[in-house]
Structure 1
């Protein structure tokens, strides 16, 4: 049960991170980077990395 909660919290953090990246506010972008450090990056970052590898 704790693992399920952790996964949901991680997913929520990724969603917040993605929303912060779309802003023009520099502090919000920095906060997004900090969130990504704890969650392992957002899904958008992983998609971009896969594009670069091709």
Structure 2
């Protein structure tokens, strides 16, 4: 259940990021980049954490 919530949160964040990219505001674009770093990197980080636990 928590994993499902996490996936929905990531999807929502990606949607927000896409909308921010379409703006002319430079701060919005920077925020979009930060969101992308978090949502893109978190999947890989979670997989690495699971490997360390074994």
TM norm. shorter chain > 0.5: yes
SS at match of 1:40: helix
Unaligned runs of at least 5 residues, structure 2: 42-54
What's 1:36 paired with? Answer: 36
When Rg is computed on C-alpha atoms for both structures, the one with the higher figure is: 2
Unaligned runs of at least 5 residues, structure 1: 42-54
How many residues align? The count is: 41
TM-score by length of 1: 0.74
Q: Which has the higher helix share?
A: 2
TM-score by length of 2: 0.74
